[in-house]
Amino acid sequence: MPCDLILALDVPTREEAAPVLRHLRGNLRWVKIGLQMFTAYGPNYVREVAGMGFNIFLDLKLHDIPNTVAKAVESLGPLPIQMLTLHTAGGGEMMRAAKEAQQKSNPNLLLLGVTVLTSMDSKGLNEIGVTSAAADQVARLGKLAADSGLRGLVCSPLEVAMLRQNLPAEMQLITPGIRPASEAGSDDQKRVMTPADAARAGSSYIVVGRPILKAADPAAAAKSILSELA
State the catalytic residues. Answer: 61
Q: Cβ atoms within 10 A of the Cβ of 159, count?
A: 24
CA dist., res. 24 & res. 193, Å (int) = 23
Secondary-structure percent of the chain, ordered helix, strand, coil, rounded to 5: 45, 20, 35
Residue 13, SS3 per DSSP: coil
Nearest to 109 by CA among 133, 85, 145: 85
Q: Cβ atoms within 10 A of the Cβ of 75, count?
A: 12
CA dist., res. 70 & res. 75, Å (int) = 9
CA dist., res. 123 & res. 67, Å (int) = 32
User: Which residues, 6 or more positions from 203, have their beta carbon under 8 angstroms from its beta carbon?
Assistant: 3, 157, 160, 173, 174, 175
Q: Please report which helix (H) or strand (E) contains residue 100, including its range.
A: helix 92-105
CA dist., res. 192 & res. 187, Å (int) = 10
**Residue 195 near residue 180, CB atoms below 8 Å:** yes
